[in-house]
Amino acid sequence: MLLVGKINNMYPSFEALIRDQIESLRNKPTSAATSSALSEKEMGFFAENTSILLFFQKTSVLMKLDQLDNSKVPKDEMQDGGLSLEDPINLHSKKLQDDLQTMGMKIQLHEDNIRFLRTLKDKLVDSIIDLQVILGKYHASNTPKIEKKDGSDTQSEDKPSDQKQILLQENTAASILCHLKTNPKMLASDPTLSDDVLGVVAELGNVDDNTLNSLLSEYLGAETMLAIVCKTYNGVKSLEKYDTEGCINKTSGLHGFGTSLGKTLEGRFNVISLETLRPYAGEFVADDPQKRLDIPNPRLRNGDCPAGFLGYAVNMINIDRTYLFFLTASGYGLRETLFYSLFSCLQIYKTRAEMLQAVPCITDGAISLDGGIIKKSGLFCLGSRDDMKVSFSKTSTNSSLPDHYTESERQMKEMKWKKEKILEDMRREQALLDSMKLNFEKKKAEFVQFLAEAANRQQTPVAMGRPAGR
């Protein structure tokens, strides 16, 4: 009964239609055979409480119809056990009633789910804000400052070394993006680009050793080091747009921003969409704040680990602290998506000789600290090394963070990911709710039509059987 009341509160038009139907029944003449089915007092009660008609309709309006149909069935047929005409009508009525009740329960369930998810989302938003305040206070107290000529302090405007290298690559997409980041107002004019684009490969990771840094950069090549990294394909689309003939629109995307900055974007550039990459599916090194991948060491045929093996390149990249706890919509970080895609199981060895001895167990390439490079199984890079104009930055000696900061940042990134998942669930529940409400409206119209037809049927035999006069 409570459920039907809720349904009628959601759909006042349905209640009005039912009230009109009751009034039409009251105003139409009835025969002596049907007048006892529903008293005037009962009709008045239900006219004022129409929300319970979903359950009452079988014992009120259809009771009249049942008695009228029964009066037309010969007594000998009833005695012989024959079926009366009300059976299919009763069955259809019960089906409509059950359908409406089931739909009402589903509507209530979806609405309860949405309210529950909204409560979770609000709590997460409050927690994220609290953590942002904590992290903001830490950044404010630890940001390097420089003293102006007037004696006042201001935040240092020195650019990181990796960003300086990128800015020197004139007329490249990476250079334009770095210039764009120094102009927040211009960047904010394209919300998709500002929200979805993470940055350039070279600025997303750090390497401790200069030699290894140079070798890894050479292995990837300048085009990959300057590749732009986006969270989703929406970011890729925001970087370059096309006209109806498929030609590049030079007034939008990075091309348009480059023009505004007085630069011309030349040639092709690579863009990586994290959501389309196949992530690492294994375990992580336990209790490692950098979340390095727990990849088994290579083994020779005799079961020994090759001599001179230092580790895997994907684990020798230190994720920049700004992106250390970044997670994609699927819950993956930069190491198991971006850097695993770039390096896979690239092995690092001390010397070229040791690397060559380990060739039988090298599957995804290898690098030696004295300059040897195997791109992949069977592909050897020979000759002298090139000086890389762009490389990863060196890990700062002052980049160590207190434990509480690292944990707070990890919690904030995780909460942001959970919030996005909750928003997806809310959108899905809302779509299901809208669909169920639409089906409810259709079923409601069918039910009202059934009541109207039932009322017409009960009046027809009364008019035919009314005596001419006394």
What is the mean pLDDT, run by run of 10 residues, along the chain of 470 residues?
44 49 49 42 41 40 43 45 56 83 89 90 82 64 44 42 74 85 79 85 88 90 91 88 86 85 85 92 84 90 89 90 82 92 93 91 91 83 78 63 66 80 88 91 86 76 49
Scored b (16 or more CB within 10 A) or e, 319-355 reads bbbebbbbbbeeebbbbbbbbbbbbbbbbbbeebebb
Task: State the pLDDT at residue 249.
Answer: 85
Token pair, residue 267, equals: 């040639």
Strands 393-394, 205-207: pairing kind: parallel
Token pair, residue 470, equals: 């006394």
Given a contact cutoff of 8 angstroms between Cβ atoms, the answer to whether 201 and 148 are in contact is no
Question: Which residues lie closer than 8 Å to 277 by C-beta, 6 or more apart?
Answer: 337, 338, 341
Q: Residue 2, class by beta-carbon neighbours within 10 Å (0-12 exposed, 13-18 middle, 19+ buried)?
A: exposed
Task: State the pLDDT at residue 295.
Answer: 92
Task: State the pLDDT at residue 148.
Answer: 40
Given a contact cutoff of 8 angstroms between Cβ atoms, the answer to whether 214 and 225 are in contact is no
Task: State the pLDDT at residue 467.
Answer: 52
For 436, the 3-state DSSP assignment is helix
Specify the DSSP class assigned to residue 339.
Answer: I
